[in-house]
Amino acid sequence: MSTPLTFITKTGADMAGAFDDLAQLRIAVFRDYPYLYEGSVDYEKGYLQTYLQSERSFLFAVYDGAQMVGATTCIPLADETAEVRKPFEDAGFVISTVFYFGESILLPAYRSLGLGHRFFDEREAYARSFGDFTISCFCSVDRGENHPLKPADYRPNDAFWIKRGYRKEPALQSTMEWPDLGETSSTPKTMTLWTKPLND
């Protein structure tokens, strides 16, 4: 770290000013397993439009000097895209009571500093501040047990998420598409949802 870390929060349309930094960070972090994301700024800007269109979307970001080195987002599930809402709608959830947590990303040099917990703390506090959300959720990609690009020392984040009070919901699955490393077209990926009551 070259300087003391600084933190910013932005909501709704005000997030636009940080999107170039966020796009570059997402591309850098999501190249690694299990996302293996062949990112592009154009794809990122399309993805991030959803957050600009929601008055209650939220960004919490960490900077080292002028570089964004970590970030996390969240948004009411009702404002998310159809593929994210669908498993909850199919399972009979009241969508207006669910807050969806997006990415939680850090460059490798900034991990193990407690920022992962800070990201969940910030998002959960923000969701609770409205008073009408009872569930938080996020999704993680399922690459299966034997993916050829899975590193030998790979450890999933499941233990961390369980420690935070989240429960894996195998019955709640969504499908998202993005281009894998070395590919030019998007392919579908299975995403498994995790949930936590916000009033715990």
Instruction: List pLDDT tens digits, range 169-178.
Output: 999 999 999 9
- In this structure, the strands spanning 58-64 and 135-141 are unpaired
Instruction: List pLDDT tens digits, range 64-120.
Output: 999 999 999 999 999 999 989 999 999 999 999 999 999 999 999 999 999 999 999
For residue 92, what pLDDT is reported?
95
Instruction: List pLDDT tens digits, range 85-99.
Output: 999 999 999 999 999
- Nearest-CA neighbor of 133 among 47, 195, 71? 195
**Which tokens hold the place of 91?**
């399972």
pLDDT band, very low/low/confident/very high, at 146 (cuts 50, 70, 90): confident
pTM (2 d.p.): 0.94
Q: Are 149 and 36 in contact (CB under 8 A)?
A: yes
DSSP state of 174: E
Of the candidate CATH numbers 3.40.630.30, 3.60.110.10, 3.30.70.1520, 2.102.10.10, the domain formed by 5-197 belongs to 3.40.630.30
3-class DSSP assignment, residue 1? coil
* Percentage of residues of the chain with pLDDT beyond 90: 87
> What CA dihedral angle connects 98, 99, 101 and 102, to 10 degrees?
100
| pLDDT of 199 strictly over 90 | no
| pLDDT of 23 strictly over 60 | yes
Q: CA-CA distance, 80 to 73, in Å (whole number)?
A: 12
pLDDT band, very low/low/confident/very high, at 53 (cuts 50, 70, 90): very high
Q: State the chain's mean pLDDT as an integer.
A: 94
Sheet with 58-64: strands ordered across: 5-11, 58-64, 67-76, 98-106, 135-141, 187-197, 167-178
**Residue 30 zone, left/alpha/beta (φ > 0; ψ -120 to 50; rest):** alpha
Would you kindly state where each structural domain of the chain is located, as residue ranges?
5-197
- In this structure, the strands spanning 67-76 and 58-64 are antiparallel
Q: CA-CA distance, 131 to 128, in Å (whole number)?
A: 6
Q: In b/e form, how buried is each residue of 108-124, taking b as 16+ CB within 10 angstroms?
A: eebeeeebbebbbebbb
